[in-house]
Chains A and B, each alone.
Chain A
Amino acid sequence: MDAKGFEDWVRDHHADLYRHALWLVGDADLAEELVQETFYRAWRGRGALRRRQRPLPWLLGILRRACFAEIARRGRYAPETYFEAGAPGGEDVAHLARALARLDPAQRDILLLYALHGLSYAEIARQLDIPQGTVMSRLARARAALRKAWGGPWEEAAVIPFPGSRR
């Protein structure tokens, strides 16, 4: 992968990687640093990406490892500073931040892989190194927990494909 290809990666994926880090660690400054760190490592390790492999799952793998290392070091999740200080999205987004704070990091992570990036069950299974059936059950539990914490008129239901995703 050459410099031009790397620029395409950055332009195509930095925003979603930033969002993933922001929602996962709950700190905007830290999210920025984690995204920069991800691309720095990606550039240095670009030879490991197989030809025709999609870069996003690979970049997500780097980012998520860095995020979980940071979560283990910090031991807390406090997104209020960002999400309740005039961040875009209004009250529903601030409410979601409070709801996600009640979920454990692994539940936030799988919801992000599913809803933010639209990864397929198979891709999530590879990210988490677990069987697809386990992905579905974990996702169902995460969504149920989110539904309870976020509020709304939803009833318990089976996991269905996210609109537009490749499942």
Chain B
Amino acid sequence: MNDETHLDERLRRALRAPAPPPDLAARILAQRPPPKPRRWPALAAAAGMLLALGLWPSPQPAGEAFVAHARDEAGLRQRPAAPPLAGVELMKRCRVAGRDYLHLRLALDGAVVDAFLGAPPPDLIDQGRAGDRLWRRLTRDGRSLVLVYPPGLDPAPVADRILAHLKPSMEVPRT
């Protein structure tokens, strides 16, 4: 076996090592059609809330099936979502240690605020810019909203707007 073939064999073997979750095929078939809950049910609920709030970013950050599910979660199928709020960007939706969270970046009156809905990993928060401050509030049912905001900005209005729309049924993980 020459070196090139050896490289190809090693590459092919390594590329095939990861396997999909065993239930992935079943989930794909279950969602066809209409789209059914996909991965991240908690995030679909949270995204639905953002749609309802008009906080859903534009351009669209997720696939149409995910958005359709999120709209269902928010009860928006029969009514339009609020118009998108300019200056909101969904930076990341992620699952860490079995918990989902959303990372939003909101541009408010010239200030940038990072909002973490759910359970943001501490190291992500630590990446906040020097001088930024951390603000955390637990909702009535124990869910968490974390804001990383610059000095001089009052985070409460931002948080209040989001928290006011949190519903007990929304499956944002507890912290």
Measured CB to CB, the residues of A under 8 A from B are 6-7, 10-11, 14-15, 18-19, 22-23, 28-29, 32-37, 39-40, 43-44, 66, 73, 82-83, 87-90, 92-93, 96, 111-112, 115-116, 143, 146-147, 152-155, 157-160, 162-163
Taking CB atoms, residues of chain B closer than 8 Å to A90 are: 17
| 22 A–B pairs (Cβ distance < 8 Å), ordered by A | A6-B29, A15-B19, A19-B16, A28-B18, A32-B21, A33-B63, A36-B27, A40-B65, A73-B61, A83-B18, A88-B17, A89-B14, A92-B10, A93-B14, A115-B8, A115-B11, A147-B7, A154-B7, A157-B4, A159-B4, A160-B2, A163-B5
Contact A43 B63 (CB under 8 A): no
- Give chain B residues whose Cβ lies under 8 Å from the Cβ of A28: 18
Give every chain A residue within 8 A of B11 (Cβ-Cβ): 96, 111, 115, 146
A-chain residues with CB within 8 Å of residue B95 when the two chains form the complex:
29
- Taking a contact as CB atoms under 8 Å apart, the answer to whether B15 and A19 are in contact is yes
Do A35 and B18 touch (CB < 8 A)? Answer: no
Chain A interface, DSSP helix/strand/loop, else mixed: helix
Is A7 in contact with B17, judged by CB distance below 8 angstroms?
no
Residues of chain B in range 18-32 having any CB-CB distance to chain A below 8 Å? 18-21, 24-25, 27-29, 31-32
Q: Shortest beta-carbon distance, B66 to chain A, in Å?
A: 7
| Bound: A154/B19 CA distance, A | 28
Nearest 10 A/B pairs, CB to CB = A89-B17, A18-B20, A37-B63, A154-B3, A96-B14, A157-B4, A116-B15, A40-B65, A115-B11, A93-B17
Count of B interface residues, CB-CB < 8 Å = 39
Contact bitstring B85-125, A, C-beta under 8 A = 1, else 0: 00000000011000000000000000000000000000000
Contact mask B45-63 → A, CB, 8 Å, 1/0? 0000000000000000111
Q: What are the residues of chain B within 8 A of A83 when measuring CB–CB?
A: 18
* Min distance, Cβ B87 to any Cβ of chain A, angstroms: 17
Separation of A127 and B19 alpha carbons in the complex (Å): 24
Binary contact track B141-171/A, C-beta < 8 Å → 1, others 0: 0000000000000000000000000000000
- Give the distance to chain A from B98, nearest Cβ to Cβ, in Å: 11
Tell me whether B15 and A11 are in contact (CB under 8 A): no
**Given known contacts A14-B28, A19-B15, A19-B18, is B10 in contact with A36 (CB within 8 Å)?**
no
Q: Which residues on A sit within 8 Å (CB–CB) of B80?
A: none
Q: Does B131 contact A (CB under 8 A)?
A: no
Known A10-B25, A92-B10, A146-B11; judge A29-B2 contact (CB<8 A). Answer: no
